Amino acid sequence: MTALEDLLEDVTAGDPITGLRWTHRSLDRLSRAWRRRGIKLGETTIARLLGQRGFSLRTNRKRLAGTHGPRRERQFRSLTRMRRLYRARGWPVISVDTKKKEWVGNSG
């Protein structure tokens, strides 16, 4: 795993059908993360490195008031810990998109 992939490990998403990969982490945040590792990289360089590895940047367009609380952040940290534990043990990690809601079985 490269240093860039290491930084993106927990903030990468993708589409298994098309093979597209993206990160929600901003170029500024990636630049700061590199600096903490003792490497100074500009945002343009980071964008080029991401592009060379098939990544694109994505941001949430829709933000609802009150959806970013301390419980939500704790939930994502817990999921990150579980994902790392599973990977360390060689267990599969499955991502499920649950935006669409459909009734299963008899609805009435």
- Is there a domain that residue 47 lies in? yes
Supply the range of the domain harboring residue 20. 3-88
Check pLDDT > 70 for residue 63: no
- Is there a domain that residue 103 lies in? no
Instruction: Provide the pairing of β-strand 12-14 with 21-23.
Output: antiparallel
Name the pLDDT band for 57 (thresholds 50, 70, 90). Answer: confident
Check pLDDT > 70 for residue 82: yes
- Is there a domain that residue 101 lies in? no
Give the mean pLDDT of the chain.
Answer: 79
pLDDT average, residue stretch 17-39: 85
Check pLDDT > 90 for residue 94: no
Q: Is the pTM of this model over 0.85?
A: no
Predicted local distance difference test score (pLDDT) of residue 67: 56
- Is there a domain that residue 95 lies in? no
- Is there a domain that residue 9 lies in? yes
Say how many domains are in the chain.
Answer: 1
- Is there a domain that residue 16 lies in? yes
**pLDDT of 29-43, one tens digit each?**
888 988 998 989 888
